[in-house]
Amino acid sequence: MDSLAACVPFLPIASGLVILAFLRRHPRGAARLSVGALLVTFLGAATLLGHYIIAGGVEVLDLGGAWGSLWLDPLSLVLWTFVSGISLIVHVYSVRYMVEEPGYARFFALLDLMTAVILFMVGAADLVTLAVAWFLVGVLLYFLLGHDHTRPAAGRYAFWTQITYRFGDLPLWFASLILVERYHSLSLPVIFARIQAHPGVLLWGLPVPLLAGLLLALAAFARSAQFLLHTWLPYTMDGPTPVSALMHAGIVNAGGFLFNRFAPLFEHAGMALHVAFAMGLVTAVVGSALMLIQNDVKRSLGYSTMGQMGFMVMECGLGAFPLAVFHLIAHGFFKASLFLGAGGVIGDARRHDGVPPDPIYTSVVERRPAKPSRLPWLVAASLTVLVPIVVIGLSHFFVAEHLFYEQGVVVLLFFGWVTGAQALFAAHKMSHQDPWRLMLGILASFVVIVVGYTLISHYFGALLYPDLSESRGLYQAASIHMLSFDGLVLSLAALFVGGWALTFFADGLDLASNLQGRGRGVYLAIYALLSREMYVADIYAFVSQILLRWSRQLNVWLGWC
């Protein structure tokens, strides 16, 4: 198995180098070689994962030298299978999609190299391999996003991405230097063992795990498009669609991987987890709000990814590390399929303008009822509030009763209840000939989804973290004072209940159309704020202009130009 493990990340590298050296003028051969190499890579990764599930055993594969080792643990093997599977789908899709684009063979070579670098990143067993792979992901993404040299926008936004990624590299490098200097090793397993034995080591008067954890969290924020570091993500849509699919499915998720890889460190860095929770919560809300106001389908998907990455980081901030990995994988497959199907959706929209047909035609020719009915308001409100909390609570109670004593799980259950209630409320707003049948069908689907999700996440967590004490340590590190926790839950509950009440009120009175005076001004100000994307990109552009002006003046003073 060691030989197979060594081949998995090196096979895409070999394929990419062969294409660049010998097949640049043979595009069909390049595509066949690339797809074949990724197929073998995926099968190898799946074989290794299956072998671990059956036989167990975690080992470190040393490839020679002071660095360049691979950590064959559950996290690496799961992500190897996921990344190679997504990349294989993107490769197959690109065979026809990119056929008329210039640099066809070069594109496949870059895809292969990107896949290999991601595999090295998630499988790294030492800090040097991790830092080098982390850096090269940004470099290769720059070339993939700017693949079409004839589109100035693609090159400009690829440069935005490169700058943000380089900013996110710095805290990872600083954290690595601190860990090496204080724990005297490059090996991640060795560092983690020494952190568990001596968590109170200090640097500049601060615990080293806390200092390194804050730096690692900042690196994860930049890579996963958290608020104020998110502007590169929605503007990368000028790149090829397969690159968008791979990026949103396997590259933006790197923040969740980084938290899980350094999970033993974050057990002693509770403050870093609190910062991650706050940042993830803000990013989830802002990303979801900006998604709803977009009129471009791909940019809307970009902000959707931002919101999902916020929720993933928030899960890490609550101590639910395996749930974040499960979210990472589920979102990756979901978002990759959306991006690969975006072209078909746009084509359908151009063929069908979406204008509703004449009501006389609808009622006479199609013989549809003119006024479909809805459930009574009181019944719908009762189902909306009670059913989600009962279903979610019972499903977790029967699977893992002890989880109810963890603060992070309580917050996640609360958000699950809010999400389920929102879904049922949206169903109530739908008009239908038989509203009872509609609601019962949605309730049945909700129960199946929640129970299945609970079971999968429980057993998936047991796979990634078989030692129950490690999971409890993460939840304990993420916990806060009980009084503060109660205040947080009550504040969130009041916020969401107020939002529901406002939604019911606005829906019944057509509030957006009837607002007058100051209320209308507030409404327009909020709309302008969201339509201008919180003015974050404008502020960055303004600061960039100031820096450029100062640099020109400095050049004049120094006589350089």
pLDDT for 357: 57
Q: Are 46 and 81 a contacting pair, CB within 8 Å?
A: yes
Q: Report which of residues 6 and 419 the model is more confident about.
A: 6
Asked whether residue 257 carries a pLDDT value surpassing 90, the answer given is yes
Q: Are 199 and 135 a contacting pair, CB within 8 Å?
A: no
Q: Are 77 and 46 a contacting pair, CB within 8 Å?
A: no
Asked whether residue 435 carries a pLDDT value surpassing 80, the answer given is no
Asked whether residue 209 carries a pLDDT value surpassing 60, the answer given is yes
Return the closest-CA partner of residue 7 out of 45, 36, 64. 45
Q: What is the rounded distance in angstroms from the CA atom of residue 156 to the CA atom of residue 115? A: 24
Terminal CA-CA length for the chain: 60
Return the closest-CA partner of residue 229 out of 287, 316, 146. 287
Q: How many residues does the chain have?
A: 561
Asked whether residue 283 carries a pLDDT value surpassing 60, the answer given is yes
Q: Which of 158-172, 450-464, 546-560 has the lowest mean pLDDT?
A: 450-464
Asked whether residue 200 carries a pLDDT value surpassing 80, the answer given is yes
DSSP state of 186: S
Q: What is the rounded distance in angstroms from the CA atom of residue 552 to the CA atom of residue 25? A: 44
Q: Are 160 and 169 a contacting pair, CB within 8 Å?
A: no
Asked whether residue 28 carries a pLDDT value surpassing 80, the answer given is yes
pLDDT for 280: 94
Cα dihedral across residues 260, 265, 270, 273: positive or negative: negative
Asked whether residue 483 carries a pLDDT value surpassing 60, the answer given is yes
Q: What is the rounded distance in angstroms from the CA atom of residue 464 to the CA atom of residue 235? A: 34
Q: Report which of residues 556 and 385 the model is more confident about.
A: 556
pLDDT for 116: 96
Q: Which of 31-35, 214-218, 282-286, 422-426 has the lowest mean pLDDT?
A: 422-426
Task: Tell me what percent of the chain is helix, strand and coil, each rounded to the nearest 5.
Answer: 80, 5, 20
Q: What is the rounded distance in angstroms from the CA atom of residue 215 to the CA atom of residue 168? A: 9
Count CB neighbours of 560 within 10 A.
7
Query: What is the CA angle 233-239-242, rounded to 5?
Result: 95
Query: What is the CA angle 130-136-139, rounded to 5?
Result: 155
Q: What is the rounded distance in angstroms from the CA atom of residue 511 to the CA atom of residue 301? A: 28
pLDDT, tens digit (0-9, with 9 covering 90-100), for 354-364: 555 555 555 55
Residue % of the chain over a pLDDT of 90: 39
Q: Are 204 and 210 a contacting pair, CB within 8 Å?
A: no
Residue written as tokens 């568990």? 196
Q: Are 245 and 215 a contacting pair, CB within 8 Å?
A: no
pLDDT for 456: 74
Which helix (H) or strand (E) is 290 found in, with range?
helix 270-292
Contacts of 17 (CB under 8 A, 6+ apart): 109
Asked whether residue 261 carries a pLDDT value surpassing 70, the answer given is yes
Asked whether residue 428 carries a pLDDT value surpassing 70, the answer given is no
Q: Confidence band (pLDDT; 50, 70, 90) for 382? A: low
- How high does pLDDT run on average in the chain? 83
Cα 471 → chain centroid: 21
Task: Please give the single-letter amino acid code of residue 399.
Answer: V
Long-range pairs, 390-397, Cβ under 8 A, ≥24: 391/420, 391/446, 391/447, 391/450, 391/451, 392/416, 392/417, 392/420, 392/450, 395/450, 395/451, 395/454, 396/454
pLDDT for 504: 59
Q: Confidence band (pLDDT; 50, 70, 90) for 151? A: confident
Asked whether residue 36 carries a pLDDT value surpassing 60, the answer given is yes
pLDDT for 528: 83
Q: Report which of residues 229 and 353 the model is more confident about.
A: 229
Which whole-number Å values give the CA distances from 419 to 253, 267, 387, 413, 431, in the listed order?
Answer: 22, 29, 12, 10, 21
Return the closest-CA partner of residue 465 out of 125, 74, 79. 74
Q: Are 259 and 276 a contacting pair, CB within 8 Å?
A: yes
pLDDT, tens digit (0-9, with 9 covering 90-100), for 83-120: 999 999 999 999 999 988 888 999 999 999 999 999 99
Q: What is the rounded distance in angstroms from the CA atom of residue 103 to the CA atom of residue 84? A: 23
Residue % of the chain over a pLDDT of 70: 83
Q: Are strands 206-207 and 69-72 parallel, antiparallel or unpaired?
A: unpaired
pLDDT for 402: 61
Q: What is the rounded distance in angstroms from the CA atom of residue 235 to the CA atom of residue 154? A: 9
Task: Please give the single-letter amino acid code of residue 94.
Answer: S
pLDDT for 447: 76
Which helix (H) or strand (E) is 221 found in, with range?
helix 208-223
Q: Are 318 and 408 a contacting pair, CB within 8 Å?
A: yes
Q: What is the per-residue DSSP string for 322-378?
A: HHHHHHHHHHHHHHHHHHHTHHHHHHHHHH---PPPPHHHHHHTS---SS-B---HH
Query: Model pTM greater than 0.75?
Result: yes
Q: Which of 105-109, 133-137, 556-560 has the lowest mean pLDDT?
A: 556-560
Q: What is the per-residue DSSP string for 475-510?
A: HHHH---HHHHHHHHHHHHHHHHHHHHHHHHHHHHT
pLDDT, tens digit (0-9, with 9 covering 90-100), for 285-315: 899 888 888 877 778 888 989 999 999 999 9
Q: Are 474 and 315 a contacting pair, CB within 8 Å?
A: no
Task: Please give the single-letter amino acid code of residue 416.
Answer: G
Residue written as tokens 């998604």? 291
Q: What is the rounded distance in angstroms from the CA atom of residue 110 to the CA atom of residue 115? A: 9
Q: Which tokens in the block code for residue 391?
A: 């279903």
Beta bridge partners of 207: 202
Q: What is the rounded distance in angstroms from the CA atom of residue 557 to the CA atom of residue 61? A: 56
Burial of 143 (0-12, 13-18, 19+ CB in 10 A): middle
Task: Please give the single-letter amino acid code of residue 70.
Answer: L
Q: Confidence band (pLDDT; 50, 70, 90) for 137? A: very high
pLDDT for 434: 67
Q: What is the rounded distance in angstroms from the CA atom of residue 43 to the CA atom of residue 50? A: 10
Q: Which tokens in the block code for residue 459?
A: 């057993």
